[in-house]
Amino acid sequence: MNFLNPNMLWLAVIIPLLVAYYIFVSRRGATLTVTTLHSRRAPRTLRYWLRDLPMLLRVGALSMFIIALARPVNEHIEREVTTEGIDIVLSMDISGSMLARDFKPDRLTSAKKIASEFVSDRFGDRISVVAFAGEAFTQCPLTTDQATVQTMLGRLRSGVIDDGTAIGNGLGVAINRLRESGAKSKVVILLTDGVNNRGQISPMMSAEIAQEMGIKVYTIGVGKQGKAPYPAYDMFGNMTTVMADVEIDEELLSEIATMTGGKYFRAENEEALKAIYDDINQMEKSEVQVTEYTQYEELFLRWLIYGLLLLAAELFVRYIILNRIP
């Protein structure tokens, strides 16, 4: 509940003054001392117990009238949202090397978590998920349902398709998702930790198609410089880790990004990867227009009625009940 005339609430300072005046006058009232042989306290009648009720009712009535003068209202706000969203495809490498443990617990798990956080900030945008290793496939078509996209991201697993790194295929399938898009802006975020070694289409050919279609490609290389621990099995079938060289074709990823108007990033830890997605989030802002309509429901009448009822109750107690009690 809000008030359209909140300054009228300052009239409430009258109430404590009125109560103080009533207490002061009551204490100065006339007293009569009667001396008897036996000192006994006179019995207290119902009039004694009800003596302050009219004042309480009057204070309550005055409070109701002050609230009514302040014009209390209930606000009903309706919002009309118009968005010019961006169509975004997250093309993610799920090859075996994404299980490297230079990220905690591994690269793929960290990439899925940070991408999911990115999706939650993209209100009004349509987002798709493409996964690639030795081949590429669509995990989730373009949708504005953020929960669905996050669920599909969470289901990404390494080992579901032939291993390898088909960057060209991963980008090509992402472009295909945007082929019939009518969005003002179309973006692919391609994340990988390797060098292109598989696929039926070269990465540069996919980049040229993206350039012709006006699709901006942001590329992210994940993995520390030098060597990283990779999971492996020993001759007895036990899980172990081996240190292997980190190979990322940064020149290729940078060239793809530059050609399409995007940008190349390198993430060596989870904090850096989150900062990269935050940067992309800031660079690719959707236009959202919000129009608000506010309707007011006047409530002063009910408070006025409450005050009149309390005032009537005071008059009834003062002039009817108390006058009849001996």
3-state secondary structure of 102: coil
Q: Assess whether the previous peptide bond of 6 is cis (omega < 30° from 0).
A: no
The CATH-assigned architecture of domain 86-285 is 3-Layer(aba) Sandwich (3.40)
Q: What is the pLDDT of residue 300?
A: 80
% helix / strand / coil in the chain, to the nearest 5?
A: 45, 25, 30
Q: What is the pLDDT of residue 249?
A: 94
Q: Is pLDDT at 84 greater than 90 in this prediction?
A: no
pLDDT digits (tens, 9 = 90+) for 258-290: 999 999 999 999 999 999 999 999 888 766 565
Mean pLDDT of the residues in the chain: 86
- pTM, full prediction: 0.65
Q: Show me where the domains of the chain are located.
A: 2-29+39-77+296-324, 86-285
Q: Is pLDDT at 39 greater than 60 in this prediction?
A: no
3-state secondary structure of 262: coil
If one compares 159 and 85, the residue with the highest pLDDT of the two is 159
DSSP string, 277-321: HHHHHHHSPPEEEEEEEEEEEE-HHHHHHHHHHHHHHHHHIIIII
pLDDT-derived band at 42, boundaries 50, 70, 90: low
